[in-house]
Structure 1
Amino acid sequence: MTSVAPAATTPGGSTGKTGGAAGRPSAAAWLVAVPFLAFAGTFLVYPTVLVLVGAFQDSNGAFTLGNLGTLFTGVVFDAFLRSIELSALTAVIGAVCGALLTWAIAVGNPDGVLRRVVVAGSGVLAQFGGVPLAFAFLATVGFEGLVTKFLRDSAGVDLFAGSAWLFELPGLTLVYTFFQIPLMVIVFLPALDGLRPQWREANASLGGTSWTYWRHVGGPILTPPFLGALLLLFANAFSAYATAAALVSQGSPIVPLQIRGFLTGEVVLGQENLGKALGLGMVVVVSVAMGVNVLLQRKVAKWVRR
């Protein structure tokens, strides 16, 4: 009979079969991770450091808080308010409409054609932005768009009577909602799928009603993921740039367009780093939103493990 040597075990009692000493990643693991780390460092970490350092420097490279002080004055502060207003409005519209659409497909056949089509379409439309999205709306409801000309010729209705709303905040709200709703479907669907049938059955066996179930079981479970998705939609709209840049050709009503103006246009003497201060302000706002989202997701994870 041949003897089999016992496998080496870690101090915690588990068998160690992969990785280096003390659980360190192997050379192969580092070889795979290095390209990603280099990419993230070049296009994420390095620009963030430049923005962070430049926000506290004047035109001569000396330390200053003047750039940050400018964020709370004049057109710059108004741009932040409009960006927050636009992001909050589109996040609420996207979250409510997306949640209703998600509920409609979640209560249906999990393997049905409708669910597969909606989920696949949401995955595509959530990433459909920038110049193609702006062009699609211009071709549809622009000054000479298909729908605009049809309503004007057939019903005498002018969508732009006295206002170029498509190229202002109302138009941005409509366009942003186009990709906010599909994103909500993708994010919120796992939360609805996580509602276990046993919870509803237990509620019914104890004499509870549908209101009781949603008041004490479904509502408390779905509220954190709904709020988390709402914050994700807010951050998504707040940081969107390409769609607004392609649609709004004049003026800078929101912060991303303000940053574009400071980086590509003429800059007032002494405000060379104001664009970086604006970028830092955006980083702070998005970081707060995503930080609260992480806390909400942790609360959801506790429910899932129970």
Structure 2
Amino acid sequence: MTTAPTPVPTPAATELSGGAGASGTATPVPRRRTVKLRGGSWLATVPLFAFFAISFGLPAIAIAIGAFTLSSDAETGAGTFTTQNVTDSVQGAYWTSLLSSVKLSALTALIGTVLGLPIAQAVVTSRFRAVREAVLSASGVLANFGGLPLAFAFVATLGNAGEITKLFHLTDHGWSLYSFTGLTIVYLYFLVPLMVLSITPALDGLRVQWREAAHNNRATTLQYWRHVALPILFPSLLGGYVLLFGSAFAAYATAAAMVGATVPLISRSIADALSGNVLVGQGNLALALSLDMIVVAVVVMAVYLPLQRRSARWLS
């Protein structure tokens, strides 16, 4: 009777068997240690923080210091601490211009949000890819079309001697482009496309299963939007509203070319204070008015950020 030879374990077999020794216990295979640089991820953000500090931090500090400084020597630029600039910026005509800017921005942002949402929804649900690309491309162009070209386009069409004004005799019905109402319509020209661009990604994040579940529970389309879609989209809608508000609040060239001083705006008041159209040496007052704009923007962002985190959890 012949005895079969005992097989000799090869290195490959030993590796596959876990490196079992004579005692039957598995010998752990040593793993390579990888050294991770914990500070490496932060190094990539250094250029961003440096750009942010130079572009936003230093100007903000300069505005804050200048707003509380009273220039006493025009040659040396020396000044003393005062709250007079900030006090004057919230009184009289300056306070009126600040309220008018807030009113105009809030109204145009609200209308732009209401009009931009159904347009964006129609684009998202469209079965034609060409329509989606065309609308989004046009929105990207129109959202950045402002300033003097936009003012000239509306003056030529809806001004006192504009083509549409003469064709439909709008002046006989009390129409005036150079008013608060006319400026509102002009602002909507670039705010509605901006809303379409900002809300489209959120609409893409709405899952089809949510609509199907609502329909399976006999919910109508109106009930789906009221109880499911709009509560989820509300933070994104608010974010788009904040974006539109900031864009309208900071707009200057379009209003300056169209209405001038007819409609009081904070941006026009800052320009007048810097150029000395009203009083000479009001540069620090202009900085105080700029500080008021920053405070308004911070308050609006403080409302938006907590809601944006809530929306991100649903749409992620």
Counterparts in 2 of 1:208 and 1:7: CA distance versus 1, 3 Å = farther
Give the alignment partner of residue 275 of structure 1, picking from 286, 290, 310: 286
Aligned mate of 1:24, from 33, 40, 56: 40
Code of the aligned partner of 1:115: R
Change (3 A) 1:117 1:225: same
Establish whether residue 139 from structure 1 lines up as the match of residue 156 from structure 2: yes
CA distance in 1, matches of 2:58, 2:256: 24
Bigger relative contact order, structure 1 or 2 (CA pairs below 8 A, ≥6 apart): 1
Q: Counterpart of 2:181 in 1: which secondary structure?
A: helix
Q: Which moved more, 1:123-132 or 1:266-275?
A: 266-275
What is the Cα deviation at residue 143 of structure 1?
2.8
Q: Which runs of 5+ in 1 are unaligned?
A: 11-15
Q: CA deviation at 1:248?
A: 2.9
Other structure's SS at 1:62 match:
strand
Structure 1 residue 284: deviation in Å?
A: 0.8
Asked whether 1:249 is paired with 2:249, we answer no
Distance across 1 between alignment mates of 2:175 and 2:70: 38
Per-residue deviation, 1:297: 1.3
Query: What is the CA–CA distance in structure 2 between the aligned matches of 1:226 and 1:302, rounded to whole Å?
Result: 15
Identity of aligned residues (%): 44
Scaled by the length of structure 1, the TM-score of the pair is 0.83
CA drift of 1:120 comes to 0.7
Equivalence for 1:259: 270
SS of structure 1 residue aligned to 2:195: helix
Structure 2's unaligned 5+ residue stretches are: 1-10, 16-28, 73-78
2:83 equivalent to 1:65 = yes
Paired positions, count:
285
| 4+ long deviations beyond 6 Å | 1-5
CA distance in structure 2 between the aligned counterparts of 1:26 and 1:80, rounded to whole angstroms: 40
CA contact (8 A) 2:206 2:315 kept: no
Retained in 1: the 8 A contact 2:274–2:282?
no
Q: How far has the Cα of 1:229 moved from its partner?
A: 1.3
Do residues 105 (structure 1) and 116 (structure 2) align?
no
2:225 and 2:238 mapped to 1: Cα distance?
16
TM-score (norm 2): 0.80
User: SS where residue 22 of structure 1 aligns?
Assistant: coil
CA contact (8 A) 1:232 1:290 kept: no
**Do the aligned partners of residues 5 and 131 (structure 1) sit closer, same or farther apart at CA in structure 2, a change above 3 Å counting?**
farther
Alignment of 1:124 onto 2:141? yes
Q: Is the 8 A contact 2:266 2:289 kept in 1?
A: yes
Deviations 1:116-152 (A, max 9, x none): 1111100110111111111111222223323234x1x
Distance 1:226 1:26, change over 3 A: closer
| Structure 2 SS opposite 1:143 | coil
How far does residue 261 in structure 1 lie from its aligned partner after superposition? 0.2
The alpha-carbon deviation at position 88 of structure 1 amounts to 1.0
